[in-house]
């Protein structure tokens, strides 16, 4: 037989384009339109309902950047569409059809709208690929709705990464962005629409099948015959005939060995990104309205949504929508997942904050719906900390889902279903959907890719398919669910079934009882610049985390010691705001200027309120008098003040530098530091051992500026090619002694860097206080510390412990890990000597090994200080910044941990105190066991909750002693629910014996 496949495919494409798609609506009737533009930020429905509207015509421009235009839309179904009883023709439905002037950009990155009825209840959202809405027709056939249209600018959906002014309302302009194209009522023909879905699926399937397969040839011929069955002059009247031709092919079952896809409706909505946080709440309302409307149409459809914050917005701002949502949650079709407050970053979020993501998220879902979410749903974060498995398990999670690792530039994780092992040995059942996206459109191409790509064939045959338009695109569409209905068993395609995350995970665990294990972090070989972008946002987060720790500690102490009121509501509100801003496009620094300026203002307000709580708590504790006290919220004693306590102790004094030759010397008997005339550290000696830190021919404290022009995502990426273009700042504008510090002034371009180098008496840390006034763009500033140790690995602090990474490039995995994240410290060491580098502000590091003069190698630790990308915020990181960096000479891991806390949690001095000391609420006798949090219980009982962890990576025994009368001791999960003891071995009154494995995280509840 002659092969006519190519010609038939051309015929199919034209038939769909020119006949089927235009015939979906038998007719359309324009509606009357009036408009009112909200003068500033979005307004309530009540305000919009009562506003003064003006006539508005199709073809009229509308919508300034970030504005809101309300359209009052009214009319009626034409009498010609209805029979004498007022009924529409069989097989048709009337619905609103709206085109706001959608552009060629992606859904979710441009104008969107929410349709409201006149009673103030949302009906459905409108977006480019989901622009029909129920018509809300009354008994007389009339339509009367309000359409809240958001003229969000397209900041960069085509991802050309060009600087744009529209990310800041101050520079976005007032010109209308869109032209209204349609607001009508359409008569949709269900037979034509269904034939269109048949054609799209089968045509897509043809493209995926082998060219020599019988199934493909059969499909091609049948579709050709179906076109013949449809009269081009009467598509509506003959569409069913076309469907009848295809019916036998649609009924052919899938192969028994076909891959099984559990389709879970989803809408990944970034809690901020190329739009502000306030717009995210509206995006969620539109998407949830779409989802609830689709549930009314399709009884099989199931939708899963993460981020308790997004549910909380609905409860607060959209009560009618909230009630509909709760009903669907109760029946199991609208499924809360994830258990976190937001889908946060996991590389930079601190340990206690990571725990609180689950505490607040899971608590919200438990309180509102009675659901204990056991799956962690985090598809889009930029890499996953090795501490996460333990934290998830401590929150009661059983399963983990992510997707982003499929973006790796170099290496491919060899599994899609596996057990992930964290730094403490905890393992959690994990799945990467092999469709390689978290917003599938359920095309034949997506389904085929998932089946082909699945890495665990032979041992398993099940994967999860998250589908739906995200970021305000409306989530799943009826076209997507129509494809699922057609592929429940279809020859040539994998089996697709509506499912829930729980059903998928239970099925996957049952069929794959002994999956492979991946140990350690899930490092994303991409988006490495997120550890450094938007320094002020990162500083605000770091400072907020430590202030919250302090405030909870002193407030709890004040409550127990004096009966002062514990500000639980304020703490929850402030924690939730901090958690929101840990979202994976806010903390990583990848949002528009608006988002980061909002975050900076929020952090200022958070700091102000927490400082007041701390001041009030301390005053309640120390009273009024003439004493001066040192307040130590850190988990290690310092300057005579006990850990977590207050004592009359002098603060540390910095040694006075002295000039020597052309340079300067700092010496406290522990560390001897020499600074040359260029302001560079040419020698750092550990006095007791005589070890020199700075390798021969090298200098420490050297700033380097690199060209920073990544191939793709500006604020997200650092490409390895940056290393080819280094400018060392090895000359100084001035070097001088100022009080107890050596001050070094440098400049590059329009920017200046002032460094104060100081050394405290009795300390082994050389402190570098940096004041950077930055006005460069597309430049990366790094600070280098070469260390004369021969090692092939470096330790970096992460949540509740540290991770050891190779510094060599033996494998492609090692080579791709050229920029890494650490929290407060990194350390390189030989068995008997090490050096740590601490920081108070940023997270990006590169740690490499180099040939040493005289033989062997030395390690180079470089801290990424600042970046200046131009997309999506062309003003990123411009202006003044202050950072603290420490070089800890002769540091073991305990020294690194303690100095990391000292740098980030400085002691306070309280004057005019009446007491001479305040004993800690709790004390621990093992220095490697760190008390991370002391707080009162979430349930308001007044119980004291202590969170601690083993920080050195060693098995250890410790004794926790309460400084108050204790009635009961229990070990709990993160949500403070009793669990079987894993660390508590004995209890006697307020004394608790503990046995901890390396990096174990423990929560202990002490009932007063």
pLDDT digits (tens, 9 = 90+) for 987-1003: 999 999 999 999 999 99
Range with the poorest average pLDDT among 163-167, 468-472, 957-961? 163-167
Which helix (H) or strand (E) element contains residue 390?
helix 388-394
Other C-beta atoms closer than 10 Å to the C-beta of 18 total 11
Strand ordering across the sheet containing 765-774:
734-738, 741-748, 751-759, 765-774, 879-889, 833-839, 825-830, 793-798, 801-806
How do residues 106-131 score in pLDDT, each as one tens digit?
899 999 999 999 999 999 999 999 99
Q: How far is Cα 893 from Cα 951, in angstroms, rounded to an integer?
A: 8
- DSSP label at 414? S
Q: Write down the pLDDT at residue 1.
A: 62
How do residues 766-780 score in pLDDT, each as one tens digit?
999 999 999 999 999
Residue 875 has pLDDT above 80, yes or no: yes
H helices of 298-350, where? 308-317, 319-330
Query: Quick one: CA torsion of 872, 875, 880, 884, rounded to 10 degrees?
Result: 20
Token code pair at residue 56: 């508005």
Mean pLDDT confidence for 13-41? 97
Phi, psi dihedral angles at 367 (to 5 degrees): -70, -40
Residue 866 has pLDDT above 70, yes or no: yes
Confidence band of 438 (pLDDT split at 50, 70, 90): very high
Q: Write down the pLDDT at residue 4.
A: 87
Catalytic pick from 99, 144, 380, 436?
Answer: 380
In the chain, the percentage of residues whose pLDDT exceeds 90 is 96
For the purposes of burial, counting CB atoms within 10 Å of the CB of 778, is it exposed (0-12), middle (13-18) or buried (19 or more)? middle
**Structural contact between residues 259 and 495, judged by C-beta atoms closer than 8 angstroms:** yes
Q: Cα dist. 289→106, 265, 281, 314, 476 in Å?
A: 20, 14, 12, 11, 11
Other C-beta atoms closer than 10 Å to the C-beta of 911 total 10
**Structural contact between residues 111 and 286, judged by C-beta atoms closer than 8 angstroms:** no
| Chain mean pLDDT for the chain | 96
Q: How far is Cα 322 from Cα 304, in angstroms, rounded to an integer?
A: 15
- DSSP label at 565? P
How do residues 3-15 score in pLDDT, each as one tens digit?
888 999 999 999 9
Confidence band of 457 (pLDDT split at 50, 70, 90): very high
Residue whose pair of structure tokens reads 């410290």 in the numeric block: 825
Mean pLDDT confidence for 258-284? 97
Q: How far is Cα 765 from Cα 888, in angstroms, rounded to an integer?
A: 4
> Beta strands of 164-282 (E only): which ranges?
178-179, 182-189, 260-265
Rg (CA), the chain: 31
What is 628-680 written as a DSSP string? Answer: EEEEE-SSS-BTTBPTTEEE--PPP-BPPPEEETTEEEEE-SSEEEEE-TTS-
Mean pLDDT confidence for 207-224? 96
Pairing between strand 260-265 and 462-467? Answer: parallel
Token code pair at residue 395: 């929150």
Token code pair at residue 685: 């000696």
Let me know the angle formed at the C-alpha of 1000 by 995 and 1006, rounded to the nearest 5 degrees.
Answer: 65
Q: Write down the pLDDT at residue 822.
A: 98
Active site residue 380: yes
- DSSP label at 383? -
Q: Write down the pLDDT at residue 105.
A: 80
Q: How far is Cα 569 from Cα 946, in angstroms, rounded to an integer?
A: 19
Residue 140 has pLDDT above 90, yes or no: no
Beta bridge partners of 335: 304
**Structural contact between residues 842 and 538, judged by C-beta atoms closer than 8 angstroms:** yes
DSSP helix/strand/coil, 542: helix
Q: Cα dist. 302→285, 296, 306, 502 in Å?
A: 17, 11, 14, 12
Q: Cα dist. 976→67, 549, 935, 946, 973 in Å?
A: 44, 17, 11, 10, 5
pTM score > 0.95 for this model?
A: yes
Phi, psi dihedral angles at 933 (to 5 degrees): -150, 140
Range with the poorest average pLDDT among 166-175, 568-577, 645-654? 645-654
Going by C-alpha positions, the residue among 362, 288, 278, 291 that lies closest to residue 318 is 288
How do residues 76-88 score in pLDDT, each as one tens digit?
999 999 988 889 9
**Structural contact between residues 328 and 334, judged by C-beta atoms closer than 8 angstroms:** yes
Token code pair at residue 247: 């019916």
What is 375-416 written as a DSSP string? Answer: EEE-TT-S-B-TTHHHHHHHTT--EEE--GGGG-SS---S-S
Phi, psi dihedral angles at 489 (to 5 degrees): -165, 100
Q: How far is Cα 105 from Cα 116, in angstroms, rounded to an integer?
A: 26
Going by C-alpha positions, the residue among 295, 296, 262 that lies closest to residue 488 is 262
Mean pLDDT confidence for 42-57? 97
**Structural contact between residues 854 and 860, judged by C-beta atoms closer than 8 angstroms:** no
Q: How far is Cα 438 from Cα 591, in angstroms, rounded to an integer?
A: 20
Going by C-alpha positions, the residue among 895, 784, 766 that lies closest to residue 833 is 895
How do residues 381-401 score in pLDDT, each as one tens digit?
999 999 999 999 999 999 999
How do residues 638-696 score in pLDDT, each as one tens digit?
988 999 999 997 866 899 999 999 999 999 999 999 999 999 999 999 999 999 999 99
Q: Write down the pLDDT at residue 158.
A: 81
Q: How far is Cα 271 from Cα 342, in angstroms, rounded to an integer?
A: 7
Sequence-distant (6+) residues with CB within 8 A of 365 are 308, 311, 336, 339, 371, 372, 373
Mean pLDDT confidence for 311-320? 98
Sequence-distant (6+) residues with CB within 8 A of 981 are 971
Q: Write down the pLDDT at residue 157.
A: 81
Q: How far is Cα 951 from Cα 131, in angstroms, rounded to an integer?
A: 54
- DSSP label at 36? E
Q: Cα dist. 826→192, 218, 802, 843, 861 in Å?
A: 64, 63, 9, 10, 8
CA 37 to chain centroid: 33
């Amino acid at each position: 037989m002659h092969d006519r496949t190519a010609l038939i495919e051309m015929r199919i494409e034209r038939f769909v384009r020119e006949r089927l798609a235009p015939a979906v609506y038998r007719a359309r009737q324009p509606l009357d339109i009036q408009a009112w533009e909200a003068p500033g930020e979005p307004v309530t429905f009540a305000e919009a309902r009562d506003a003064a509207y003006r006539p508005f015509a199709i073809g009229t421009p509308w919508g300034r950047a970030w504005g809101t235009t309300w359209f009052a839309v009214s009319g009626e179904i034409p009498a010609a569409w209805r029979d004498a009883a007022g009924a529409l023709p069989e097989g048709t439905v009337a619905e609103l059809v709206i085109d706001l002037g959608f552009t060629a950009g992606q859904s979710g990155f441009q104008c969107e709208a929410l349709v409201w009825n006149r009673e103030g209840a949302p009906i459905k959202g409108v977006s480019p690929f989901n622009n029909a809405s129920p018509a809300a027709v009354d008994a007389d056939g009339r339509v009367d709705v309000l359409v809240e249209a958001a003229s969000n600018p397209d900041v960069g959906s085509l991802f050309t990464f060009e600087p744009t002014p529209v990310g800041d309302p101050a520079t976005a302009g007032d010109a209308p962005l869109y032209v209204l194209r349609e607001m009508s009522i359409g008569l949709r023909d269900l037979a034509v629409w269904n034939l269109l879905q048949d054609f799209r699926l089968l045509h897509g399937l043809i493209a995926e099948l082998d060219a020599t397969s019988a199934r493909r040839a059969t499909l091609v011929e049948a579709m050709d015959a179906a076109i013949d069955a449809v009269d081009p002059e009467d598509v509506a009247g003959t569409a069913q005939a076309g469907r009848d031709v295809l019916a036998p092919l649609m009924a052919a079952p899938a192969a028994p060995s076909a891959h099984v896809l559990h389709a879970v409706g989803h809408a990944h909505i970034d809690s901020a990104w190329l739009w502000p946080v306030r717009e995210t709440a509206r995006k969620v309302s539109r998407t949830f309205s779409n989802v609830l409307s689709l549930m009314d149409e399709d009884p099989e459809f199931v939708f899963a949504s993460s981020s308790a914050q997004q549910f909380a917005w609905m409860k607060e701002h959209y009560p009618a929508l909230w009630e509909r949502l709760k009903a669907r949650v109760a029946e199991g079709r609208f499924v809360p997942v994830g258990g976190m407050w937001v889908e946060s970053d996991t590389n930079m979020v601190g340990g206690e904050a990571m725990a609180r993501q689950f505490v607040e998220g899971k608590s919200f879902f438990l309180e509102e719906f009675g659901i204990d979410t056991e799956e962690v749903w985090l598809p889009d974060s930029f890499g996953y900390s090795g501490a996460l498995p333990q934290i998830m398990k401590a929150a009661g999670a059983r399963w983990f889902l992510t997707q982003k690792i499929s973006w790796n530039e170099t290496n491919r994780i060899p599994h899609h279903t596996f057990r992930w092992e964290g730094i403490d040995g905890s393992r959690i059942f994990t799945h990467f959907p092999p469709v390689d996206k978290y917003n599938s459109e359920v095309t034949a191409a997506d389904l085929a890719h998932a089946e082909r790509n699945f890495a665990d064939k032979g041992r398993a045959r099940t994967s999860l398919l998250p589908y739906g338009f995200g970021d305000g695109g409306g989530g799943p569409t009826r076209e997507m669910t129509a494809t699922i209905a057609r592929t429940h068993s279809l020859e040539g395609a994998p089996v697709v079934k509506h499912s829930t995350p729980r059903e998928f995970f239970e099925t996957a665990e049952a069929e794959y009882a002994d999956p492979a294990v991946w140990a350690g972090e899930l490092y994303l070989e991409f988006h490495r610049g997120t550890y450094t972008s938007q320094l002020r946002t990162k500083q605000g987060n770091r400072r907020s985390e430590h202030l919250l720790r302090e405030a909870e500690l002193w407030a709890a102490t004040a409550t127990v010691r004096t009966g002062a009121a514990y500000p639980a509501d304020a703490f929850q509100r402030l924690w939730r705001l901090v958690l929101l801003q840990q979202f994976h496009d806010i903390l990583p620094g990848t949002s528009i200027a608006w988002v980061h300026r909002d975050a900076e203002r929020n952090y200022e307000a958070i700091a102000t309120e927490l400082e007041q709580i701390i001041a009030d708590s301390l005053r309640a504790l120390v009273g009024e008098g003439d004493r001066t006290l040192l307040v130590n919220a850190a988990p290690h004693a310092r300057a005579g003040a006990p850990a977590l306590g207050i004592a009359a102790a002098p603060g540390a004094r910095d040694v006075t530098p002295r000039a020597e030759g052309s340079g300067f010397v700092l010496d406290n008997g522990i560390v001897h530091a020499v600074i040359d005339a260029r302001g560079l550290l040419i020698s750092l000696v550990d006095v007791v051992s005589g070890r020199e830190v700075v390798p021969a021919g090298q200098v420490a404290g050297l700033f380097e500026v690199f060209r920073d022009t990544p191939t793709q995502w500006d604020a997200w990426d650092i490409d390895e090619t940056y290393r080819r273009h280094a400018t060392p700042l090895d000359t100084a504008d001035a070097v001088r002694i100022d009080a107890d510090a050596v001050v070094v002034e440098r400049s590059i371009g329009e920017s200046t860097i002032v460094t104060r180098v100081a050394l405290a008496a009795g300390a082994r840390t050389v402190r570098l206080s940096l004041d950077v006034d930055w006005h460069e763009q597309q430049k990366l500033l790094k600070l280098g510390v070469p260390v004369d140790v021969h090692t092939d690995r470096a330790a970096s602090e992460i949540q509740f412990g540290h991770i050891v990474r190779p510094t060599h490039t033996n494998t492609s995995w090692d080579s791709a890990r050229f920029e890494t994240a650490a929290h407060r410290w990194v350390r390189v060491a030989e068995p008997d000597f090490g050096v740590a580098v601490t920081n108070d502000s940023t997270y990006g590091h590169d740690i490499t090994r180099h040939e040493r003069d005289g033989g062997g190698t030395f390690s180079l630790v470089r801290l990424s200080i600042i970046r200046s990308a131009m997309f999506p915020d062309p003003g990123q990181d411009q202006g003044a910044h202050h950072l603290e960096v420490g070089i800890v000479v002769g540091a073991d891991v305990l020294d690194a941990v303690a100095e990391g806390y000292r740098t980030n949690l400085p002691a306070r001095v309280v004057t005019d105190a009446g007491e001479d000391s305040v004993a800690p609420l709790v004390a621990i006798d093992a220095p490697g066991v760190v008390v991370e949090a002391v707080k009162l219980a979430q349930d308001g009982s007044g119980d004291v909750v202590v969170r601690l962890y083993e920080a050195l990576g060693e098995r250890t025994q410790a004794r926790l002693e309460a400084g108050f009368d204790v009635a009961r001791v229990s070990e709990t999960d993160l949500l403070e629910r009793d669990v079987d003891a894993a660390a508590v071995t004995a209890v006697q009154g307020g004394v608790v014996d503990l046995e901890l494995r390396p990096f174990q995280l423990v929560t202990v509840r002490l009932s007063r």
